[in-house]
């Protein structure tokens, strides 16, 4: 994004991962892309706009953050104060939270609500090289804000019978955003995820490539059960198993994004080679030495205790038994109604048959 004079950027490149269809690897792509960019030497901020906060837990957030994406969108904090450290060097997190469920309503009441995130990200400190945004699985005001602020949009898609239709709808929505709010958005890429070596998937993949051509990225992420294990362990896949084929595909995706950012004017990296990044990922997988001190984490807000519900009334179980008995008694009154209904249906069937025979004979 440019400053008011149009002479320079006020924010680093913003990569948005979006698809309005859930269960297609959107959050997995966001987390592993951000981690691989950090391994390539980029200083990355991962913004979790999903109220489910799966991207946040995948990079080690175990407790609700006192500040995060919700407070950033409300204008209560800037990006520096919304960020928290992660276990991975070069990677910072603007955490999601349950409060984001209310963000759609609150943002809609602001002036120019589609630019709220763009204004918030304008406070990104100068030492950040790239911002990666994980969107919720719906095209609401949060996803609109993300695509309005985006320099690059990645659409993960699983080659499945319903994928092409959903992809066309997501593409159409992004094109509307581009037409009305973000004319500079010229990089919209499609990433195949959860791919398999089957005839059906090959046909579906060919159909999507035929529809979108060069917009389809030259990298495919294969289906791998390690993705499920990584999510269960609150780890990025590229840290849990950096040498598996799916992890290598995400590293290749990050390298492609670095290339696109270099075209847009970002400085090249001296230590951003594939081998160096892969070695960093392997090192991040190792536990810290016993003699070393764990990295200092920002304070977290403890979850409020659950308030106890009202105490049950005396003899509540007896009252319940009596209610069940009353229901059983009153249900008997429906017997004659059901009988009459059956007789009417039978009478209708007989009359219909007789009428049909009469029409046939006539």
pLDDT at 308: 59
pLDDT at 159: 86
* 101 CB neighbour count, 10 Å cutoff: 12
Query: Which token pair is 193?
Result: 């995820």
pTM across the whole model:
0.76
> Tell me: the pLDDT tens digits for 68-118?
999 999 999 999 999 999 999 999 999 999 999 888 888 888 889 999 999
Going by C-beta distance under 8 Å and a sequence separation of 6 or more, which residues neighbour residue 129?
12, 13, 37, 42, 43, 44, 261, 266
**Mean pLDDT of the region 280-295:** 68
**What DSSP designation does 125 have?**
-
pLDDT at 180: 92
**Mean pLDDT of the region 269-277:** 76
155 falls in which pLDDT band (50, 70, 90)? very high
Tell me which CATH code domain 14-285 carries: 3.40.50.300
Q: Which residue has the higher pLDDT, 337 or 99?
A: 99
pLDDT at 263: 54
pLDDT at 338: 73
pLDDT at 320: 53
139 falls in which pLDDT band (50, 70, 90)? confident
264 falls in which pLDDT band (50, 70, 90)? low
Q: Mean of the per-residue pLDDT values for the chain?
A: 82
User: Please, is 149 exposed, middle or buried when counting C-beta atoms within 10 Å of its C-beta (0-12, 13-18, 19+)?
Assistant: buried
**% of residues, the chain, pLDDT over 90:** 50
**% of residues, the chain, pLDDT over 70:** 77
Lowest mean pLDDT among 85-89, 97-101, 153-157, 306-310: 306-310
Domain boundaries, the chain: 14-285, 320-361
> Tell me: the pLDDT tens digits for 217-246?
999 999 999 998 998 889 999 999 999 999
CB 40 within 8 A of CB 255: yes
335 falls in which pLDDT band (50, 70, 90)? low
**Mean pLDDT of the region 280-293:** 72
> Tell me: the pLDDT tens digits for 166-200?
788 889 999 999 999 998 888 899 999 999 988 88
**Mean pLDDT of the region 122-148:** 93
Going by C-beta distance under 8 Å and a sequence separation of 6 or more, which residues neighbour residue 17?
26, 27, 29, 30, 33, 132, 133, 134, 135, 153, 154, 156
Residue 306 has pLDDT above 60, yes or no: no
DSSP string, 127-188: T--EEEEEPPSS-SHHHHHHHHH-SEEEEEE--STTHHHHHHHHHHHHHHHHHHT-TT--EE
- CA atoms of 32 and 19, how far apart (whole Å): 16
């Amino acid at each position: 994004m440019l400053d008011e004079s149009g002479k320079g950027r006020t924010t680093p490149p913003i990569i948005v991962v979006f698809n309005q269809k859930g269960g297609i690897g959107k959050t997995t792509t966001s987390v592993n892309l951000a981690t691989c960019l950090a391994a390539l030497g980029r200083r990355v901020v991962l913004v979790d706009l999903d109220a489910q906060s799966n991207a946040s837990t995948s990079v080690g957030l175990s407790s609700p953050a006192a500040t995060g994406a919700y407070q950033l969108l409300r204008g209560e904090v800037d990006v520096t104060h919304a960020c928290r450290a992660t276990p991975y060097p070069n990677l910072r997190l603007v955490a999601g939270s349950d409060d984001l469920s209310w963000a759609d309503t609150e943002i809609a009441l602001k002036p120019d609500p589609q630019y709220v995130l763009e204004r918030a990200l304008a406070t990104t400190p100068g030492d950040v090289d790239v911002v990666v945004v994980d969107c919720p699985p719906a095209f609401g005001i949060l996803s609109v804000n993300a695509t309005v602020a985006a320099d690059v949009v990645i659409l993960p898609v699983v080659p499945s019978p319903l994928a092409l239709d959903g992809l066309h709808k997501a593409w159409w929505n992004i094109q509307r955003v581009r037409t009305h709010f973000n004319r500079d958005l010229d990089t919209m890429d499609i990433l195949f995820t959860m791919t398999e070596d089957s005839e059906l998937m090959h046909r579906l993949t060919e159909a999507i490539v035929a529809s979108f051509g060069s917009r389809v990225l030259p990298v495919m992420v294969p289906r791998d059960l390690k993705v499920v294990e990584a999510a269960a362990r609150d780890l990025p896949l590229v840290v849990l198993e950096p040498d598996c084929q799916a992890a290598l595909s995400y590293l290749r995706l990050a390298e492609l994004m670095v290339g696109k950012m270099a075209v847009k004017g970002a400085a090249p990296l001296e230590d951003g080679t594939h081998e160096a990044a892969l070695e960093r990922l392997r090192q991040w997988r190792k536990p810290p030495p016993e003699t070393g001190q764990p990295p200092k984490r920002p304070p977290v807000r403890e979850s409020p205790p659950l308030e106890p519900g009202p105490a049950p009334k005396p003899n509540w179980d007896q009252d319940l038994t009596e209610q069940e008995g009353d229901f059983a008694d009153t249900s008997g009154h429906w017997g004659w109604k059901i009988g009459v209904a059956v007789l009417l249906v039978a009478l209708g069937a007989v009359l219909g048959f007789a009428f049909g025979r009469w029409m046939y004979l006539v």
